[in-house]
Amino acid sequence: MTACAFEADLWTLERVGVVVQRVSGVTLARASLRRLLTVRLGWTLQRSRRQAVERDESGIARWVAHECPRIKKGQ
């Protein structure tokens, strides 16, 4: 189980709104919640990376330089 009993660690405005409602009993509209988080608290939108953190750039470059030409020759 992850934070606040959600299935994943991805925080959306809807999820933050649910937590605010659970803790304070106050229901905020999506626009109001966005303004509160961004304007008043200075938070910014964060997007997850499309690439794995473990990605090995030097290994990929090596593979492209050495293996890829061999594969193309064999075609």
Global pTM value: 0.55
pLDDT in tens, 9-55: 778 899 899 999 999 999 999 999 999 999 999 998 887 777 787 88
Say if CB 19 and CB 4 are below 8 A apart.
yes
Is the pLDDT at 66 greater than 50, yes or no?
yes
| CB-based contacts of 44, cutoff 8 Å, min separation 6 | 38
